[in-house]
Structure 1
Amino acid sequence: MIALDDIDRAFLRALSEDATLGAGELGRRFGLSQPAAWRRVKRLEEGGVIAGRRLVLDRQALGFGVTVFLGIKLATKGRISFEDFERAVQAIPEVQVVQHVLGRFDYRLRVGARDIADFERVLRRRIMTLPGVGQIEANVMLSEERRPGPLG
């Protein structure tokens, strides 16, 4: 873990809001030269603090109006069933996130679908046929608000 100062934290807040900011803009915002800002960002990347930058797509604009969170409890547990389930679930394009969790369920999935009928098709034809699936609980997302992260 690398030590972070106030400018590092300010850079991280700014980049978390707009990952396209370049070193020149960061330097102007926080009173540093472009090379000094670039070195800081490079240090944060090499230190693993910045693990990457990503493009955030508007799922609604792409025609995916429904997001459902699924809790899945496997019927049989063991190394083989976990591996088989994980391998199979990663092949489903509608599954956006797979989380292996502790608690009531073994896995938490984020599934994107065009509408409820499309989600039902994905659920019946793809998810319910996965190896080892026992219990499934679905929660349809009504709205999503972005909350500031630990640096916000």
Structure 2
Amino acid sequence: MQNETVELDGFDTAILRVLATEGRISATELARRIGLSKSPTQARMKRLEEAGVITGYAAILNPIRMGLAHVAFVEVRLSDTREAALQAFNRAVLGIPEVEQCHMIASRFDYLLKVRTADIQDYRRVLGEKLSALPHVASTSTYVAMESVKEGPV
């Protein structure tokens, strides 16, 4: 089942820690780093993939080098929180590339979004044309990040 917790031992945790920051590491080098031989390391990786602990491998991009230095966190309050409204919002927010993260929150607001744009003018456009137009949005509050202290993998 997809939501079941997977039992992880020290070697599994070590594999995951290395892969979270160095996804292109060779199996030989990974095995050397965690203190196992190559075959058991590869078998563990395969088991972790099949169990859904490892869901894929991706390049870690530098958004600042891509001209996306502006980060805003947006509280979104919906006008309707029945299941159909939540699902409509969820589907629609997936189509906005500037939304880097979207979390349903148990708070005085309903969702917290992390939005990445080039600058404040670009964010203003995204807010007005995309975020405010999402289904059932009643209000938003924006918090601009001045500095990212920690981002990225584990």
C-alpha distance in structure 1 between counterparts of 2:117 and 2:40, whole Å: 44
Are residues 1:36 and 2:13 paired? Answer: no
Partner of 1:12: 16
Are residues 1:62 and 2:66 paired? Answer: yes
Alignment of 1:2-151 (within 5 A): 2-146=6-150, 149=154
> For each residue in 1:40-94, what CA deviation from the matched residue of structure 2 results, as whole angstroms up to 9, or x when unmatched?
1112222222222222111110011101111101022222322222222222221
Shift in Å, 1:104: 1.7
Q: Considering only aligned residues, what root-mean-square deviation do their CA atoms show, in Å?
A: 1.9
- The number of aligned residues is 149
Q: Which amino acid aligns with 1:87?
A: R
Quick one: percent identity of the two aligned structures? 36
TM-score, normalising length from structure 2? 0.85
Q: Which amino acid aligns with 1:130?
A: L
Q: Which amino acid aligns with 1:12?
A: L
C-alpha distance in structure 2 between counterparts of 1:32 and 1:120, whole Å: 52
SS of equivalent to 1:134: strand
Unaligned runs of 5+ in 2: none
C-alpha distance in structure 1 between counterparts of 2:12 and 2:55, whole Å: 15
SS of equivalent to 2:149: coil
Question: Which deviates further from its counterpart, 2-11 or 135-144?
Answer: 2-11
Is the Cα–Cα contact under 8 Å of residues 23 and 41 in structure 1 kept in the other structure?
no
